[in-house]
Chain A
Amino acid sequence: MVQSAADRVFLPTKNLLEQVGDMMILTGKTLVSALRPPYPYGTEFVQQFLFMLRLCWLPLTISTIAFGYGAPGLQAGNFLVLFGAIDRLGGFFVLASIREFAPFVTAIILAGVGGTAITADLGARKIREELDALQVLGVDPIKNLVVPRFLALMVVTGLFNIYALIFGIFGGVLATLTFDAPLGPFFATLLNNASTTDLWGSVVKTTLFGAIIAIVSCYKGMTASGGAEGVGRAVNQGVVIEFLGIFAFNYVFTQTLLATHPEISVIK
């Protein structure tokens, strides 16, 4: 009785830790496999890259504008108007959009739209035993399926981040206009506060978000079991783990970046 209760509490945790361990191993194998010749994954990389672009660009555009306008734009704008400091909204957007919101929205859209598509695709192939058949025919699924997805997602997420922060700032412009404020000060404080560190920090961070999304999605897809239902479960669990992983990693990254580059904490 006690045993089974303990099992019920600890087995899922153990299971999760085991899975995280497996994902680390998969990451290692993926990196080795990506670097070691031959490189047969070019076509698949391009296909996946275009697939992700096609899948994500519209949801991302809508989300970033709406989010940039709504959350930091109107909310912070309301607050700043109180102090007669709406001209500072641009400076706030450096903190908000470039450092946090653009990467976040990008990651959530890519995990929710792209990551799930990858898990579902690989999961279905796993269930149909396509992955087994590939292996028996001498095709390494890591090199031929995981590596191109891993690289494509990293590149796409990094690029989409720039796209997202442009549209996020556009949301800020809309918010400024809503408050009938001139745009000059918005851009002045924006450019004044933005540094190259902010920009590359943001891009590096999202690229690594892309890596997390790719590994978790591929892992969950390739280990799906239990028929169609199992694929659904894998997709669901995958996206949950991706969000947790992204939030946790974001915390670590932000802390590290602020600690190693104290100058970006100074608001000008």
Chain B
Amino acid sequence: MEERRGDGGAGGPDRPLDPREWEESRGGRPGAGAGPRMTAEPERGAEDHEYHWHTGAKREHGAEDAVEFIDVVKAFGRNRVLNGLNLGLPDGQISMILGPSGTGKSVCIKHMVGLLYPDEGDVLVHGQSVPAMADDELFEMRKKFGVLFQDGALFGSMNVFDNVAFPLRQHTDKGEDEIREIVMRRLTEVGLAAAAEKMPNELSGGMRKRAGFARALVLDPGIVLFDEPDSGLDPVRTALLCELIQEVHEENGGAYCVITHDIMSARRVADYIAILWKGRIVESGPARDLFNSDNQFVRQFLSGEAQGPLGME
């Protein structure tokens, strides 16, 4: 790896190794020729040595894409967080974006709801380009989304009840009685009915997260994004939360996207998995296919082993 970085990294004239060729030379790309359509990522020049494992395999999931990333590049100063990201999140399924921390998973979410804009490329929500939207279109588009932010992002000046009621008061004309009923139902679901009157700073991290979860779902949105709903929760709560995600999804349908680095959660709830590393998708596809992938990086990541291409760097 290091040697290759030496000769290829400086942008020298020698042609970089095509990752697909490389995979093939190692005994065939996983899933190649197995039938389903595969879209390959375009070749991207001298930096490709970093992307040995990125086959760009985008396996068919048999549904429309609710959200689509097309060649998205996003840099903060010199820090290139997304580097030609191609990803589609299927409608009607629970997708998971997996990846080591700091790879830009939260940045992905912020692109979907128009909180960040790509430097290059495009982000489509139900086929509409988010960066191209005017302010009022963006406002309308955001109503489709429910977002659970990483630490719950509860409003510190309101109690839990008002936090969960906020989207209802903001976007609907429902009366206070109806709002109370809906909010209490959601809070009971996440086990916070007793904490309705508490302020966010009186809650533990896990409770804040569950309150954020209730708030994200209170409008029954068509696309729900969960940013690490399971981090900081104990294993039992994580399992319960996963179950809850599945139940709610069965009830409401829509595209759910869960960001996590917990493989257990992925095994439990994911219909579709995308693995993000170094600003691109290593592989994405139906969960079952990915858990049987030949790609060493995918295998290492999904089994959580220390041996493999992913190091500490």
* CB neighbors of B among A93-151 (8 A): 124-125, 128-130, 132-139
State in angstroms the CA–CA spacing of A125 and B157 once bound together.
10
Cβ B153 vs Cβ A128 within 8 A: yes
In the assembled complex, the Cα of A124 lies from the Cα of B113 at a distance in Å of 21
Quick check: which of B137-145, B177-185, B247-255 contacts chain A, the rest being far away?
B137-145
Taking CB atoms, residues of chain B closer than 8 Å to A136 are 113, 115, 142, 145, 147
Q: Give the number of A-B contacts (CB < 8 Å).
A: 44
Q: Are A129 and B142 in contact (CB under 8 A)?
A: no
**Chain A residue with Cβ nearest B208:** A128
* List of A residues within 8 angstroms of B171 by Cβ: 137-138
Interface contact A129-B153, CB-CB below 8 Å: yes
Interface size on B (CB < 8 Å)?
19
* B304–chain A nearest beta-carbon distance, Å: 27
Are A137 and B170 in contact (CB-based, < 8 A)?
yes
B155 CB–A CB distance under 8 Å = yes
Return chain B residues, CB-CB under 8 Å to A138: 139, 142-143, 170-171
Q: Is the CB of A137 within 8 A of B156?
A: no
Report the Cα distance A125→B156, complex, angstroms: 8
Cα(A136)–Cα(B156), bound, Å: 17
Residues of A within 8 A of B167 (CB): 137
Q: Which residues of B contact A128 (CB under 8 A)?
A: 151, 153-154, 156
Quick check: B139 and A133 within 8 Å, CB to CB? no
**Cα distance A128–B201 in the bound complex, in angstroms:** 12
**A130 touching B170 by the CB < 8 A rule?**
no
Q: CA separation between A124 and B200, bound complex, in Å?
A: 14
Measured CB to CB, the nearest residue on chain A to B169 is A137
Distance (Å) between the CB of B157 and the closest chain A CB?
A: 9
B151 cross-chain contacts in A, Cβ below 8 A: 128-129
Once the chains are docked, how many angstroms separate the CA of A130 from the CA of B156? 8
B291 at the A interface (CB under 8 A): no
CB-CB contacts below 8 Å: B147-178 with A: 147, 149-151, 153-156, 166-167, 170-171
In the complex the two chains form, is B153's CB within 8 Å of A132's CB?
yes
Residues in chain B near residue A124, CB distance under 8 A:
156
- B-facing residues in A137-196 (Cβ within 8 Å): 137-139
* Interface-centre pick from B145, B150, B153, B156 (highest chain A CB count, 10 A): B153
Asked whether B110 is an interface residue with its Cβ less than 8 Å from the other chain, the reply is yes
Q: Tell me which residues across on chain B come within 8 A of A132, comparing CB atoms.
A: 110, 115, 147, 149, 153
Measured in the bound complex, the distance between the Cα atoms of B167 and A138 in whole Å is 9
Complex-state Cα separation, A132 to B113, whole angstroms: 10
Asked, given contacts A136-B142, A138-B142, A138-B170, whether A130 binds B154 with beta carbons under 8 Å apart, the answer is yes
Instruction: Pick from A125, A130, A137, A138 the residue with the most CB of B within 10 Å.
Output: A137
Contact A133 B170 (CB under 8 A): no
A15 nearest in chain B by CB position = B77
Q: Note all chain B residues with C-beta closer than 8 A to A130.
A: 153-156
User: What residues on A are CB-neighbors of B154 within 8 Å?
Assistant: 128, 130, 133
A129/B150 in contact, CB under 8 A = yes
| Nearest A residue to B148, CB-CB | A133
Min CB–CB distance B125 → chain A (angstroms) = 13
Q: Nearest chain B CB to A146's CB is how many angstroms away?
A: 16
A133 in contact with B149 (CB, 8 Å): yes
Asked if residues B149 and A129 are in contact (CB atoms below 8 Å), the reply is yes
A132→B156 CA distance, assembly (Å): 14
Q: Which residues on the B side are within 8 Å of A125 (C-beta)?
A: 156
From B227, which residue of chain A is reached at the shortest CB distance? A129
- CB of B227 to closest CB in A, whole Å: 9
- Cα of A151 to Cα of B139 in the assembled complex, Å: 25
Which residues of chain A are within 8 angstroms of B156 by Cβ–Cβ distance?
A: 124-125, 128, 130
Assembly CA distance A117 to B272 (angstroms)? 45
> Is A139 in contact with B145, judged by CB distance below 8 angstroms?
no
Bound Cα distance from A134 to B215, whole angstroms: 12
Name 17 interchain pairs, CB-CB below 8 A, sorted by A: A125-B156, A128-B151, A128-B153, A130-B153, A130-B154, A132-B149, A132-B153, A133-B147, A133-B155, A135-B113, A136-B113, A136-B142, A136-B145, A137-B170, A137-B171, A138-B143, A138-B171
13 additional A-B residue pairs with CB within 8 Å, beyond A129-B151, A129-B153: A128-B151, A129-B150, A130-B154, A130-B156, A132-B110, A132-B147, A134-B155, A135-B113, A135-B142, A136-B142, A137-B142, A137-B166, A137-B167
User: What residues make up the interface of A, taking CB atoms closer than 8 Å to B?
Assistant: 124-125, 128-130, 132-139
Q: Sort A-B residue pairs by CB-CB distance and give the 9 closest, nearest first.
A: A129-B153, A133-B153, A129-B149, A136-B147, A136-B113, A130-B153, A132-B115, A137-B167, A136-B142
